[in-house]
Structure 1
């Protein structure tokens, strides 16, 4: 059931008893907008899109299927860091992404925390974990 819900969330449309809904955006609290923008653009490879606030505290990124990632600079960034609470992005060319991490000396690890290692899930999907500048975990997998 959890795998089905994850698939439906990331495919963009969910059927409920009332109507269809789709993921609009995911908001992430960051402590330094510029550092986080560099991470999401240069490491993850997201493309920044127009954001309406123009206040220097927000950046929005296209994450596919009409959904966006909103990063928002605010004081008192939550301090709980858990790999269980993570964002997940699927890469079309995971080998190239891993090579970019190696080329830039950006650390990644397996689910169990082995540095520079890839986890292969029971369904054959490869996944790694990286952290953004505030320590938030991101899963990167090849379930593209």
Structure 2
């Protein structure tokens, strides 16, 4: 049975608890290229960034520990995956494939290549070369 989103729901943001707000902000700006935006007046323990498609990540400084594993990750796509991989190497950001093999990609059954790496707080990030299409 096919279902439809009758409400036009679209991704708005993800919120991440981070230990050092400035370190995380620098990572999301300098490594992922996200732009810092106004944080709605929430104060100094909140920094907001957004991707080129306007999806936001809200970084929240906290001492609270969260469990992290590769099965729960942020995912982004690019038309230049191999250029991005070279950038990660130059920035000394270690990456791996889905099986955990360092410095290599994997190809999903649908032909999409992907890599995984961690942000400064250990959150997993996937970057792939998928094209967003309706099925």
Q: TM-score range by the shorter chain?
A: 0.7 to 0.9
List structure 1 runs of 4+ shifted beyond 2 angstroms. Answer: 63-67
Which residue matches 2:29?
41
Number of matched pairs: 130
RMSD: 2.0
TM-score (norm 2): 0.87
Higher strand share: 1
Structure 1 residue ranges without an equivalent (≥5): 1-13
TM-score (norm 1): 0.82
Which residue matches 2:120?
133
- Shift in Å at residue 66 of structure 1? 4.0
Which residue matches 2:59?
71
Higher helix share: 1
CA distance in 2, matches of 1:67, 1:106: 23
Structure 2 residue ranges without an equivalent (≥5): none
- Shift in Å at residue 65 of structure 1? 4.2
Instruction: Kindly provide the CA deviation profile for residues 83-138 of structure 1, in whole angstroms up to 9, marking residues without a partner as x.
Output: 00000011231111101111121100000000101011111111000101111100
- Shift in Å at residue 58 of structure 1? 1.2
